[in-house]
Amino acid sequence: MRHIDKGKMTQYAFIGHDYTKRGGLKSKFRHTISIALKNSLYKPLYADTSRLDQIVLKDIIKKIRKSKFCIFDLTGYKKKGKPDKNLNVILELGISIGVKRHAFIAHREGSIDFDKEMSDLLGQYRYPYKTYNWLKNDPISFIESFGK
């Protein structure tokens, strides 16, 4: 069981994923992340909670810089629910690398061929999953590693 040191201030984690409401995937992913962040000092920051009166990308950059680390699901979807890569989230991942934030990179199996499409990320931590249920515990170990 993880314990929270009440003397420490809340920190943030930027969460990047497909925000399209498609069969409940958005809320299922957020639920999975909330389980991973439960009992930690980290609160999630999402790109789709940006204010509409400003440039969204500038707000995303601010949120990534404000965060201790980032969690990305690089999965996007084409017609008929076929998994593919999400170029917006890949851009967010690039920004996080540029501002030196650790990144947990998740993707639905079959959505990205890292050997051919994203070979520069071969050394980065990646987690392929079949369902969000598979994803529940792995981010917890990643998050806990920041306390060590």
How many structural domains is the chain composed of?
Answer: 1
Indicate whether 32 belongs to any domain.
yes
Both tokens assigned to 31 = 């639920």
In a domain, 3, yes or no: no
> In which domain, by residue range, is 45 found?
11-147
The predicted model gives 43-71 an average pLDDT of 87
Closest CA to 75 of 30, 33, 129, 32: 129
83 Cβ contact list (under 8 Å, min separation 6): 75, 76, 77, 108, 109, 110, 111
Q: Does 1 map to a domain?
A: no
Does the model's pTM come out above 0.95?
Answer: no
pLDDT digits (tens, 9 = 90+) for 12-34: 999 999 888 777 788 888 988 88
Q: Say if residues 108 and 134 touch (Cβ distance below 8 Å).
A: no
**Does a structural domain hold residue 65?**
yes
Mean pLDDT of all residues in 45-74: 87
pLDDT score for 148? 47
Structure tokens given for 41: 């000092």
Give me the CATH number covering residue 76: 3.40.50.450
- Percent of the chain residues past pLDDT 70, beyond the cut: 81
Six-digit token string for 117: 């499409």
pLDDT tens digits for 94-123? 999 999 998 988 888 888 877 777 766 655
At 53, the pLDDT band (50, 70, 90 cuts) reads low
Q: 148: exposed, middle or buried (C-beta count within 10 Å: 0-12, 13-18, 19+)?
A: exposed
